[in-house]
Chain A
Amino acid sequence: MMAIRELKVCLLGDTGVGKSSIVCRFVQDHFDHNISPTIGASFMTKTVPCGNELHKFLIWDTAGQERFHSLAPMYYRGSAAAVIVYDITKQDSFHTLKKWVKELKEHGPENIVMAIAGNKCDLSDIREVPMKDAKEYAETIGAIVVETSAKNAVNIEELFQGISRQIPPLDSHENGNNGAIKLGKQTTQMNRRCC
C-alpha cells in the first residue's frame, strides 16, 4: 500500500488573478471520483501520486480582497505549501505577490514551499509582467515559478507537480509507518461516528 501524505496548500494573491479558477481547473478538470466534498470553490482536495507516495492536497482558497487581508494568517498557518498567484496582465498583482512572499517569509510556517503562478498566460498579448521578471524574482526567494492558464488548462498540473517534488520526502524508516497512521486515523475518524 502506498503511503498517503496530506499536504495543506493555500492560495494567495490579488483579487481577480484567478486563484479560484486555478483550483477549479486542477481539481475538477481531472476526472476523479475520489474528490472529497468541497466547500464551494474554497476548499478542495485532490490526491496525486508522487514517487512511492500519494500526495493528498488539501487546498485552501482565500479571498483576495484587500479587506480580508488581515485574515490571511489564519489560512496559511500550518500550510506545507503556498501558491501565490499574479495576473500577467496586471503589474499591480505582481507587486501584491511580492508583498505576500514577504509576509510568508516573516509570519508563515517555516520551510513552506512557495510556488509562483503567473496566471492568464493565454492573454500574453496584453502582458504587463515579463516572464523574466518573475523568473528572476523567484530565484531570489528560491520559489518555483510557472506561467499558467486556468482557462486553457496550461501548466496547472505542472504547478502542483512542482510542489510535490519540492516537498521533502519522509525519512525512509518513518515512511511506511506514517502512511499507515494516516490511513488508520482516517478509519478511526469515520468509525467513531457510528454510534
Chain B
Amino acid sequence: MGTAEGITSLLREEETFSACLARIDSIILKPMLQAEPYDQKGKENFKLLLLLNDRFHALWDVTEDHHRALRQKFSTSTSFHIQDIYIIWKADLFLRHYIHSQGCRVASCAMIQSHSEAWKNHKTALKQFLTDGIPETSVSMALHTILQKPIREHVQQYSLILTRLSEATGKVLTFACRDSLMPELWGFDNKGDLHLYQNDALRLPERKLLEDSKNLPIFASTGRSDQVLLFSDALVLVQVNYVGAQEMAFCSLSSCHEQFFPLLSFCSPNPLLALCPQAVWQWKLSQAVRQALNGKRDFPLWSKAGGGNEPPICRCFKHIFQTEGRLKNAAYEGEWCWGKPRGKGTLKWPDGRNHVGDFKEGLEHGFGICLIPRVSEDRFDCYKCHWFEGKMRGYGICEYGNEMVYKGYFKDDLRQGFGILEDTSAEHPFKYTGQWENDKKNGYGVWDDKNRGERYIGMWQDDHRHGHGIVVTQSGVCYQRMFHADKMVGSGILLLENDSIYEGNFTEDLMFVGKGKLTFANGFTLEGTFSNKSGQGLQTQGVLNTSSHHQLGLNKFPVEARWWGIYDQFLGFVHSGCKEETEESFTGFHVQTSKELRKSQEYLCCQRGAEDAPGKMEDILEELVQHREPELLHCYLQKVLNSSLHPLGKLLKTLTLAFQATYSGTGANRHLLNMAQEEVKHYAKKIWEFYQGLLHLALEQKGQPLAEMEDEETSNLNAYGMILPLILPCFYPELSMLYMLYHEKEDDLYCQGIVNLSLFSDLKLLEFLDVQKNDTQLFVCLFQRRSLIKDKCFLSATECLQKIIMTVDPQEKLEVLQKTYEEIESTVSRVAGKDYKLPMDDLLPLFMYVVSRASIQHLGAEIHLIRDLMNPTNTGGIYDFLLTALESCYEHIQKNIKLHHRETWHSSRDSRCL
C-alpha cells in the first residue's frame, strides 16, 4: 500500500467514524438529554449524562478537526511527510479524548442500569444499533455496547492503517509512534481511568463501581501508583509499572480477576495484593465480599450487616473459571479457601463432566465422584475414587458407561496396582483380577472368560497374556505353558481329565502338534511326533503315573510374587504413618458389596466421617497397643479381621477376593491345590507381618519402647498358629473343595470300604477288626446287648467324630478327634468296669470301627487339610498322633478292606442268616 492510499483510507475512516458519532448523538444522546429528571437520583444521573455528552462532543470535535486538517494537508501538499499526520504528533491529546469519552460512556452505563426504566422509550432506537448480531440482554447492556463498539473498532482501524503506512514509508519514526500509542491504549496512565473496560472479562453491565482508589486512596502510603477498583462483584488492580508490556498487563488483570475476587483477602498469597489497605477500604471490601457471598446484588452497602466485619476466609460460592488451563469454563460451586477451591464442592465442565467431592489448593484432592461423558454414547463413566492433587490416586471404583466395572487402585488417573475389572455385558463377559500398570494388565493376574468357561492364571504384559500361565477349563482339563503376546509358544504340560499327561506342543483347541510325550493313567507312555490326527514313532513304557496329584504353578508363581499389589498398598499405608484421611485410599472402601456401594453414593459423598466411618486411626492404634497379651490378642485379632472397617479386615477381604477369583468355580481344580494352600499360608504370614507393622507404628507414635523384632521362626509360628485359624474361614469353601478334588480317588475307595463294612453287624465288624483279641467275652457281652437294642456301639464316639466336618479351624477338628478318643476310652472303661488304658493294638481296631461307622464322606480331604494347616507346634505331639491314627484307619480301610471283600460278603451273609 502506498502512502497515498494509506492517507485515503485514513480519511475514509475518519469520515465513517464521524458519521457514526453523529448517529449516536441524534438517536441516543439527544433523546436522553431531553428527558427531564424528576427525582434526586435522576438528577444525579442526569449530571453524569451531561458529562458524558460533553466528552462525547469533545471526541466528536477532535475527530472532525483531525479529519479536516488531514484532508487539507493531503490536498495542498504533494510532497508528503509522515510528520504531517496529525495523529502522530498529537497522539497524546487525541487518545486522551478517546479514553475519556469511553470512560464516561461506561460510567454512565453503570449509572443507567439503576435507572433503566427511563430508557424503555428508547428501546426501538437502540434496536437499530443491535442488528449486527449482538445478543439483546438488557437495555443498559445494549447501550453500553452501542457506545463502546464503534470506538473500539475505530481504534483498531487506526492501528491497522498505521501499520500499513509504516510498511509503506519504512520509517522508524512510524514504529516509535505506534508503540507509544499502544501503551496509552492498553496500559494505564494516571490521568485516564476506565479504559480497562476493554477487557472482555470485566465488561459486565450489571457491575457496579463501588469504589475507586483514585477517589479514596487504598494504601496508607501513597508511593504506589497502582489503582484499585472495587466493583460490586469484582476487584481490579491496575498496574502501570512496565509500559512496554501490554499483553502482560492484560493477562495480569484478567488473572487478578480470576484469583482474587471475590476471595480477595489481604493476606492473599499474591504479592501484588499482599498490602494493607486502609481501614475504610477494608470495611468496604468486607462488605462487598459479604454482599457477593450472600448473592444479593442490591444488598445495601452501608447497612449494618450482622456479625463481624471480617468475611470468612473459607467460604462457599460459585465461580466459573476463565483462565486457560484444565479448569477453563468449568463452574465450581462449593467451599473456597484463600482463593482456591478447598473443602467440599462441585466442579462442572460445559462438556458434562462433573466432579463432586473434596478439593484442596484448587484441585481435586480426597474422595470424589466424577462423571465423565463417553465420547460416542449417551453414557457416563462414573469414578468413585480418591484424588491426589487433581489426579486419581489410591483406591477407586469406576463404573464405565459400557457396563464394565473396575474396582482397584489408580495412580495419575490410570489403573495402577491391584484391581478387578469386570464386564457383565452379555456379549463377552469377563473378569480380570490382578495387577495393573499404566492402565493395562501387567504382572500376575487371573482372567475369567465366562463364555468359554476358562480361566487364565498367570503373567500379563500390556493387556496380553505373556510369560508363564495356567489355563483351567470347566471340564477339568488344564495346562501350563508359556505365552507370548497372547500366543502360546513352546511346549507345555497338559493334564487331561482321564489323568493322562501330555508334555509337548499343543494348540488352544488342545490338539497335539509336534514332538510330545503322552502318559496314560495306567503308566503307558507314547512318545513321538503328533499331528492333529495321529501320532508317529510311538514308544511304550510302563512307569507309574501320578498325574492326578500333579501340581501346577508352584515354581512359576512363587507366593511372594502373587498379589503384591495388595500388600504394597497396605505397606504404603503403614509407611505413611497410618493417616486417617488416607486410610481409605490405601485400603479400599469398607462398603461390603458393590450393590450397597451403588446405593450409597450419597453416603460416600456426604456422610463420610460420620458414625458409620471406620474408627479413628488413633483409636485403632491405641487398641492395638492395649491388646498385646496373648489372650487379648487372639480376641482382638478375631474381632479386627472380621471387621470391614479395620485395615486388617479390609486386607483380608481383598485377599479373599483375589483367592476366590483364582480358585472358585473353574479354578476348583485339583492341580491347583498346592498353589492355593501355599497362598493361604502366605496370607497368614503377611497379615501377621502387617499386624506387627501396625503395632510397631503405634508404639512409636506413643513413644513406647518398641517390641524387639521377631525372628522368622517365631513369626511363622504366630502366623500359622494364631492368624491362620482366624482367616481360614474366608478361604475354607474353596480350599476344602480343592482338597476334596485332590483326594477324590482315595476318598472313593475309602467310601467303598465303608459301604462294605456297613454290611457287617456291629459285633461281626468288631470281630472282623480283631477287637476281641484280648477281652473277647467282655466286648461280646457289651455289643450283643447293645446290638439288640439299637444296633449301635460306640455311638457317642461315632457322633463325636462326625462333628469333625462341622468346624473349620484345624485345631478344633483335632480337639474333636481327641474327644472321640476319650469317648472310646470311657466306653471301654465302662464296659470293663475299670480304668482301661488302650494300647495301640486295641485302639486302632476300635478307632477303625468308629471311623467306619461315622462314615465321613471326604475323610481323606479332611485329614490332609488338617495336617497342612494345623498349628505346626502340634507336629509330633498328641494331636499329630491322633491325626495319624485317624489317617492310618483311613488308609487301612482303603487298602485292606478290599482284600477282605469276599470274606466280608460271606460273613455278612452268615450274620444275616442268623
Contact of A78 with B876 in the complex, beta carbons under 8 Å: yes
Contact of A36 with B878 in the complex, beta carbons under 8 Å: yes
The answer to the question of A187 belonging to the interface, with a C-beta cut-off of 8 Å to chain B, is yes
A41 to B874, CA, bound (A): 19
Closest B residue, CB atoms, query A177:
B711
Contact of A58 with B882 in the complex, beta carbons under 8 Å: no
Contact of A70 with B844 in the complex, beta carbons under 8 Å: no
Can you list 19 A-B contacts (CB < 8 A)?
Answer: A20-B840, A36-B878, A37-B878, A39-B878, A40-B825, A41-B837, A41-B840, A42-B843, A62-B840, A71-B891, A74-B887, A78-B876, A177-B711, A184-B717, A188-B718, A189-B873, A191-B631, A192-B725, A193-B811
A43 to B876, CA, bound (A): 10
Closest A residue, CB atoms, query B633:
A191
Considering only residues 352-373 of chain B, those with a C-beta below 8 Å from chain A are none
Closest A residue, CB atoms, query B874:
A189
Q: Chain B residues with Cβ under 8 A from A74's Cβ?
A: 884, 887-888, 891
Give A contacts to B, CB under 8 Å: 6-8, 15, 20, 36-43, 45, 58, 60-65, 67-68, 70-71, 74-75, 78-79, 177-178, 181, 184-189, 191-195
Closest B residue, CB atoms, query A59:
B881
Contact of B717 with A194 in the complex, beta carbons under 8 Å: no
Q: Contact partner of A188 among B717, B839, B875, CB < 8 A?
A: B717
Q: Contact partner of A181 among B630, B713, B844, B871, CB < 8 A?
A: B713
The answer to the question of B528 belonging to the interface, with a C-beta cut-off of 8 Å to chain A, is no
Contact of B881 with A42 in the complex, beta carbons under 8 Å: yes
The answer to the question of B896 belonging to the interface, with a C-beta cut-off of 8 Å to chain A, is yes
* A34–chain B nearest beta-carbon distance, Å: 15
Contact of A194 with B634 in the complex, beta carbons under 8 Å: yes
Interface of B is mostly: helix
The answer to the question of B395 belonging to the interface, with a C-beta cut-off of 8 Å to chain A, is no
Contact of B888 with A181 in the complex, beta carbons under 8 Å: no
Q: Chain A residues with Cβ under 8 A from B714's Cβ?
A: 181, 184
* A9–chain B nearest beta-carbon distance, Å: 9
Check A70/B881 contact, CB under 8 A, given A181-B717, A195-B634: no
Check A42/B838 contact, CB under 8 A, given A75-B884, A186-B873: yes
Closest B residue, CB atoms, query A42:
B840
Q: Chain B residues with Cβ under 8 A from A15's Cβ?
A: 841
Check A63/B881 contact, CB under 8 A, given A40-B839, A189-B871: no
9 nearest CB pairs, A to B? A8-B876, A40-B838, A42-B840, A191-B630, A71-B888, A41-B839, A43-B881, A185-B873, A40-B837
A79 to B725, CA, bound (A): 26
A188 to B724, CA, bound (A): 13
Contact of A42 with B839 in the complex, beta carbons under 8 Å: yes
Contact of A191 with B884 in the complex, beta carbons under 8 Å: no
A102 to B776, CA, bound (A): 36
A181 to B841, CA, bound (A): 35
Q: Chain B residues with Cβ under 8 A from A58's Cβ?
A: 876-877, 881
The answer to the question of B332 belonging to the interface, with a C-beta cut-off of 8 Å to chain A, is no
Convert B709-724 into 0s and 1s, putting 1 for each residue whose CB lies closer than 8 angstroms to a CB of A.
Answer: 0010110011001100
* A82–chain B nearest beta-carbon distance, Å: 13
Contact of A67 with B896 in the complex, beta carbons under 8 Å: yes
Q: Chain A residues with Cβ under 8 A from B871's Cβ?
A: 185, 189
The answer to the question of B892 belonging to the interface, with a C-beta cut-off of 8 Å to chain A, is yes
The answer to the question of B635 belonging to the interface, with a C-beta cut-off of 8 Å to chain A, is yes
Q: Chain A residues with Cβ under 8 A from B725's Cβ?
A: 192
* A54–chain B nearest beta-carbon distance, Å: 15
Closest A residue, CB atoms, query B842:
A40
Closest A residue, CB atoms, query B882:
A39
Convert B880-905 into 0s and 1s, putting 1 for each residue whose CB lies closer than 8 angstroms to a CB of A.
Answer: 01101101100110011000000000
